[in-house]
Amino acid sequence: MHFVFITGGVASSLGKGIASAALATLLKSRNFRVRIRKLDPYLNVDPGTMSPYQHGEVYVTDDGAETDLDLGHYERFTNQSAKQTDSISSGKIYSNVLSKERKGDYLGATIQVIPHVTNEIKSFINSDIKNEDIIIYEIGGTVGDIESLPFLEAIRQIRNNKKISSALIHMTYIPYLSSADELKTKPTQHSVKELLNAGIQPDIIMCRSERRIDIDSISKISLFCNVKKESVIPALNAKSIYEVPLLYSKYGLDSVLLKHLGYKSKNHKLNLKPWNDLLKKIDKQKQLVKIGIVGKYTNLKDSYKSLNEALIHGGIENSVEVEIKWINSEELNNNNLISKLKECDGVLVPGGFGSRGVKGKITAIKYARENNIPFFGICLGMQLAVIEISRNVLKIKNANSSEFDQKSKSVIGLMTEWTKGNKIEKRDKNSDKGGTMRLGSYKAILSKKSKIYSIYKKNEIFERHRHRYEVNKKYVSKFQNKGYYFSGMSPDGLLPEVLESTNHSWFIGVQFHPELKSRPLKPHPLFVSFIKYCRNEKNKS
């Protein structure tokens, strides 16, 4: 088994997550058993309570972990599900150390970063390992950050153990100065010096740049950073992130790494045909489909990263290019909002928490419903569709969610509000934020004579959830009388999972997050169907 550590320097947001995922893809394409894990230096226990503006979306695994969005990149590229044990933060590390100290596990010792915190990091690195050939560890943050120091020290100790085979890849940024018309390698030299100060010599340096890196710059980096020329890998911008594995392979990233780990590349043939075929599909995209995403975190695209990618996957499968129009639901009045929606071929209202921007989302749902525009509601988006129909079709006065108004008619509520005496599924967990959070993969049963069944082509599905509130089951029959029915339910029949309309070309709301399971080589069927109907409705008009 081999460990590969990936660190970043000079600047944040260089794309270490995509680099890690692309490298894993190349290794898997050579038939290696690969796993990727994330070590984040921030002091939050996990991103679950962090604002999307601070850290992007919260990615949820099948087993219910709230993790960094990079795990989404890992899964999309490798088509391999991540686990709770594939992500940890400084907050979790320190929590574990302090918990052990309170229990007396350290026998009264003075607790210090070295050895107690670094030992806990090493314990995580060595935990839950099965039969993998290569495990890739992405270290969040930037070398030089105070928070990163314990992780670098733990890596130094691991690499100092001669019985352990490892490699360290350092990703840096090569800036271009227009006044000098020159790429500058000095920041990379300083970044590597920071690593050397921590006792770590990189084996491979990946150089992010918006311009082609000339041979003189590569030679200079090789000389001053003490790595071989072939181990200085250009990491240039790509037209599509799904082109990245091929670009890295072109510059020899996987070959150089395997040579360092003691493998002969010729004994492990590379098969990138699926990715080449994918890029051909992308090149064949002729028509443009505009999708309006009506949300409140639209100023930071990473807030909806998985959603963005799932729509792209649906577009690729339908040979159309998807243009996303980000519509901030709290900044616009009704007239401005509707004028923006008129430009869209489909409307999507994503998940979220809290009452901010709800009014604009409900306006968007009503407009899509009344004008036969394909509509897709996800999690909160489905709940708001239920509220909109309750108010404007069922004429239920003050219909709302108890999340927004405790005194209203709660067509949406905490499960504990209206499932008293009923058994709730086992993995529901209490949250410090109150209520009950459903996290991770749950089964739903689909009605056979429904649009959702025709999309999935099976009556049992497993999808990932992240929410506290559910549709109140007592209103189900009232919806059916008006042509809206819940075509997906939890196995016990208590929790509505899918809402659809018989009066509309494509009007579907789901309580789960299908975007989390969409892959470029295996697009999620809901997004494929949604984009298909958006294209068809556009062609009719």
User: Among the options 309, 317, 515, 524, which is catalytic?
Assistant: 515
Neighbours of 228 (CB within 10 A): 12
Distances (CA, A) of 13 to 7, 16, 290, 329, 521: 12, 8, 27, 27, 25
3-state helix, strand, coil in the chain (%, to 5): 40, 25, 35
One-letter amino acid at 503 equals: N
Closest by Cα among 210, 235, 233 to 221: 233
Q: Quick one: which H or E segment has residue 60?
A: strand 59-60
User: Among the options 379, 467, 470, 497, which is catalytic?
Assistant: 379
**Annotated catalytic residue 513:** yes
φ, ψ dihedrals at 12, nearest 5°: -85, 175
Q: What order of strands is seen across the sheet that includes strand 134-139? A: 87-89, 34-40, 134-139, 2-8, 165-173, 204-209, 232-236
Cα(396)–Cα(398) distance, integer angstroms: 6
Helix (H, G, I), strand (E, B) or coil at 44: coil
| Angle formed by the axes of helices 380-392 and 358-370, nearest 10° | 70
SS (H, E, C) 288-320: EEEEEEEECCCCCHHHHHHHHHHHHHHHHHCCE
**Annotated catalytic residue 268:** no
φ, ψ dihedrals at 295, nearest 5°: -145, -175
- Where does residue 356 fall: left (phi above 0), alpha (psi -120 to 50 degrees), or beta otherwise? beta
Cα(35)–Cα(40) distance, integer angstroms: 17
**Annotated catalytic residue 243:** no
Cα(118)–Cα(158) distance, integer angstroms: 10
User: Among the options 66, 513, 524, 534, which is catalytic?
Assistant: 513
Q: What is the DSSP letter of 116?
A: I
Q: Where are the beta strands (DSSP E) in 364-456?
A: 375-378, 399-401, 409-414, 429-430, 436-446
Token output for 168: 């360290």
Q: Are strands 287-295 and 346-349 parallel, antiparallel or unpaired?
A: parallel
Catalytically active residues, by annotation: 379, 513, 515
